[in-house]
Structure 1
Amino acid sequence: MHSYLARQPVLNRNKETVGYELLFRDGPNNCFPDVGDEQATNRLLADNFFTHSAKKATGGKLAFINFPYCSLIQRVPLMFAKKSFIIEILETCEPTDELLEAVIELHQQGYLLALDDFVPSEAWNRFLPYVHFVKFDIQITPIAKAGFFIRRQRDRVEHLKFLAEKVETHEEFEAAHEAGFDLFQGYFFSRPEMIQRKTLTPCALTTMRLFQEISQDIVDFDTVEAIIANDVSLSYKLLRHVNGMTSAQAKPVTSFRQALVYLGEERLRRFISFVATAHAAERKPRSLYGLSVQRAQFSERLSKQISQTISGSQAFLAGLFSLLDSLLDHPIEDLITQLPLSDEVKAAVIHQQGPLGMILRLSQAYDQANWAEVAQLCRTLAVPESVVAELYLESLQWSSFIEKSSAD
């Protein structure tokens, strides 16, 4: 028996991930859930909160959960601790007296509530004192109109936070930011925010040099050690990571050479990949770093399920480098051609071609809860959707662990 889950990041004004909206998935045979809203909510709660796996999927951050009308009237959220999630009142709910009574009770019990896909109307005004988040779909409600509503409500309901949904571009993020939104949801953060430069910055250059070295068939540890030695922050992160893994040892690891002896070449190559990616993302939302690590893990695990001819390490590199343009603010073509990668990896990362390209497309489709695309790619790759769902959740848990440890 498997549970199925996807997530959409929620970012603050600094592009830092503060939570995730958890999305219900019905199983291997139904890309779009063939169940009603009530059953979908109940299944998501039963599968992911009674077993505590949702905390792993969100990395301990906020979870936004959709609740339809009947679930709210029946006070279903009261079955769970008030800190478990934020209750999203679905846009299909009618603003009845009965619903208002439920919302007031949940508010008084200390639960946090959100109005999903909100469209301003007089009927919903009486709900505003009892909710904490108002979510606007900016593809439906113009940003200017939402901004006018935000300015009016700031003085009336001080505790309200406003969330812009379906922010697809950097320009939309800037406009929503200017309009007064506090939180943002969409895929703009995972797309390149292109800044054309003639040269890379020192931090980015260090990262690129490390990527070049670990992409070689045989890692030159002398060269890698020299690169690390010239970057205090990166050296510190690496040693913290290694000593966290070797805490049971009598003596701490104090040099990169000691790390090499303990880890060996392949594990060290992957270790550098994780930390160097985190290092590159220091001025980026941490969700972008986490997504890179998660995608690398998912790609490697999936490659072992679909073909003996696909190298797990090549799949890992394709997943890791698939967001390199967003991390370093340079076109992906320019970056990937500087690395000694196989033609298969380059074709996958730049054009999403070949088996590795299909793996990347499947990872992206799952990130976006595009179940129709997921089903099509699973059929093409001849892998059961239940297997993909399990591997995706495993990769989420792994990336959360890595992201947490690298922040220490």
Structure 2
Amino acid sequence: MDFFIARQPIFNAHRKLYAYELLYRGTQDATIENINGERATSSLISSAFLTEGLEVISGTRPCFINFTEDLLLKKIPLSIPKNKIVVEILEDVRPTKEIVEACKQLVNQGYTLALDDFVYHKSLEPLIELAEIIKIDFRLTPVDTIHKTLYRLRRFNLKLLAEKVETIEEFSHAIKLGFTYFQGYFFSRPENIRIKELTAAKINMFRLLAEVSLKSTTLEKLHKIISVDISISYKLLRFLNSAYFYRLEKVKTVKHAIAYLGERELRRFILLVLISELSSDKPDELVRMALVRAKFCELLGEASSFSYDSSELFLLGMFSFIDVMLDSPMTQIMEKLPVSPLVKSALNDQSGDYAVFLDIMRFYERKQILQLDMAFREIGVDDSQVPELYLKSLKYANGLF
């Protein structure tokens, strides 16, 4: 049976990627609202660890996975390597003697425990003593309640994780309160909408970005761009020798690399490098998410029963965070980039034929299953194909990183 999984990044205070939470998205025949926690986690583990391999989904990062009371009692976490997961104990798990003993066994064997959607109660203290991470919903929990909770937890050796951090202001506030980890979409909007002066080096990169975005770009022009930039050359060779391509022989020269990739993929690779450099002061995960979106949009376009330009959809996904990367309004950026009117209208004001693809990205990342079903029908995609397409997108992004 096909089913959907997605991942949500968890950052440290420096906005560097710490881990992912793996999220179950329901099946082709049933949405998550109709699936109990035990079945959801069992299906997630089966796909992530037994079917696809964790390296495709999370690379080297640990994964937070929800565990129900029954799964803890059955010692299911012990079937997964301790360095691969953080055992996330759901808020409705009762701190019975049996549960506490099961959690002690996990801790003694080196597993990390996290308490999800934490609301303090004295009865939870046996689990608090075993946990390493406490997750607090930063949006739904009143500020005075957060202060009281932190006061009660001060005697325990814990790290705090703020969930549902949606703005830079909330992120900054959580840091001041002493939180160590952060989960949410605080990086998905520009920190300051302003006309930002670019350095001379970034101006040159932006000009190259415009050149690479042109449909009329030739292989010769791309070769010139690469030949004057050692960094791009190095990254190109490293990418082509990554696990994504499964090559028996290494690509050793730029000329060989260009011949192997061809104009379309080479253009995309240079786009990635330029965008990464332009957003060097932003979380790496932002570029990684843009890559996943780009490939996912492209693959959805190719799988559609309608006629979409998959190359334009790739650009749509790649540029979906560029306003955040440059801290500039999307409309100003789009004025300077030679992309199609369909891409511009989708990015500028979420209108036009391509806007639904941006909706799908957000719905998928945020577990909005009902909206996803409608969107897949709108673009003519059979949702049974989607899990494979998403995993291909993750593999593609992992190869580039």
Task: Tell me the alpha carbon deviations over residues 18-75 of structure 1, each in whole angstroms, 9 at most, x when there is no partner.
Answer: 1111111221132324221112112211222123533311122110000111111222
What is the match of residue 50 of structure 2?
50
> For residue 99 of structure 1, what is the amino acid of its counterpart?
I
Q: Show structure 1 runs of 5+ residues with no match.
A: 404-408
User: Alpha-carbon deviation of 1:105?
Assistant: 1.8
TM-score if structure 1 supplies the norm length?
A: 0.89
What is the match of residue 356 of structure 1?
354
Alignment of 1:118-129 (within 5 A): 118-129=118-129
Alignment of 1:56-205 (within 5 A): 56-143=56-143, 145-147=145-147, 149-150=149-150, 153-154=153-154, 156-158=155-157, 160-205=158-203
User: Alpha-carbon deviation of 1:326?
Assistant: 1.1
Q: Aligned to 1:274, which of 272, 275, 278? A: 272
What is the match of residue 253 of structure 2?
253
User: Alpha-carbon deviation of 1:150?
Assistant: 3.5
CA pair 259-384 structure 1, distance change in 2 beyond 3 A: closer
User: Which deviates more from structure 2 when the two are superposed, residues 356-365 or residues 214-223?
Assistant: 214-223
Matched, 1:287 2:285: yes
User: Which deviates more from structure 2 when the two are superposed, residues 302-311 or residues 164-173?
Assistant: 302-311
Task: Tell me the alpha carbon deviations over residues 186-217 of structure 1, each in whole angstroms, 9 at most, x when there is no partner.
Answer: 11122222252352234542332122101212
Task: Tell me the alpha carbon deviations over residues 276-303 of structure 1, each in whole angstroms, 9 at most, x when there is no partner.
Answer: 2222232211110111111110111111
Structure 2 CA distance for aligned equivalents of residues 169 and 10 of structure 1: 15
Helix, strand or coil at the partner of 1:295: helix
> For residue 137 of structure 1, what is the amino acid of its counterpart?
D
Helix, strand or coil at the partner of 1:380: helix
Structure 2 CA distance for aligned equivalents of residues 367 and 209 of structure 1: 32
Helix, strand or coil at the partner of 1:26: strand
User: Which deviates more from structure 2 when the two are superposed, residues 202-211 or residues 326-335?
Assistant: 202-211
User: Which deviates more from structure 2 when the two are superposed, residues 57-66 or residues 354-363?
Assistant: 354-363
Alignment of 1:210-359 (within 5 A): 210-219=208-217, 233-234=231-232, 236-238=234-236, 240-241=238-239, 248=249, 252-253=252-253, 260-261=258-259, 263-307=261-305, 309-359=307-357
Q: Is the 8 A contact 1:243 1:253 kept in 2?
A: no
Structure 2 CA distance for aligned equivalents of residues 106 and 35 of structure 1: 26
Q: Show structure 2 runs of 5+ residues with no match.
A: none
CA pair 69-293 structure 1, distance change in 2 beyond 3 A: same
TM-score if structure 2 supplies the norm length?
A: 0.91
Q: Is the 8 A contact 2:73 2:102 kept in 1?
A: yes
What is the match of residue 17 of structure 1?
17
Q: Is the 8 A contact 2:305 2:380 kept in 1?
A: no
User: Which deviates more from structure 2 when the two are superposed, residues 177-186 or residues 45-54?
Assistant: 45-54
Helix, strand or coil at the partner of 1:49: helix
> For residue 29 of structure 1, what is the amino acid of its counterpart?
D
Q: Aligned to 1:387, which of 373, 378, 385? A: 385
Give me the CA root mean square deviation: 2.5
User: Alpha-carbon deviation of 1:184?
Assistant: 0.4
Helix, strand or coil at the partner of 2:42: helix
User: Which deviates more from structure 2 when the two are superposed, residues 94-103 or residues 213-222?
Assistant: 213-222
What is the match of residue 364 of structure 2?
366
What is the match of residue 28 of structure 1?
28
Q: Is the 8 A contact 1:296 1:316 kept in 2?
A: yes
> For residue 393 of structure 2, what is the amino acid of its counterpart?
S
Q: Is the 8 A contact 1:143 1:179 kept in 2?
A: no
CA pair 93-314 structure 1, distance change in 2 beyond 3 A: same
User: Which deviates more from structure 2 when the two are superposed, residues 17-26 or residues 96-105?
Assistant: 96-105
Task: Tell me the alpha carbon deviations over residues 117-156 of structure 1, each in whole angstroms, 9 at most, x when there is no partner.
Answer: 00122111232221111000112223454355446645x3
What percentage of aligned pairs have identical amino acids?
37
> For residue 88 of structure 2, what is the amino acid of its counterpart?
E
User: Alpha-carbon deviation of 1:354?
Assistant: 2.5
Structure 1 CA distance for aligned equivalents of residues 382 and 266 of structure 2: 32
Q: Is the 8 A contact 1:213 1:220 kept in 2?
A: no
Structure 2 CA distance for aligned equivalents of residues 309 and 39 of structure 1: 37
User: Alpha-carbon deviation of 1:324?
Assistant: 0.6
CA pair 52-264 structure 1, distance change in 2 beyond 3 A: closer
Helix, strand or coil at the partner of 2:194: coil
Helix, strand or coil at the partner of 1:65: strand
Q: How many residues align?
A: 398
Helix, strand or coil at the partner of 2:332: helix
User: Alpha-carbon deviation of 1:309?
Assistant: 2.9
Q: Is the 8 A contact 1:21 1:63 kept in 2?
A: yes
Q: Is the 8 A contact 1:206 1:227 kept in 2?
A: no
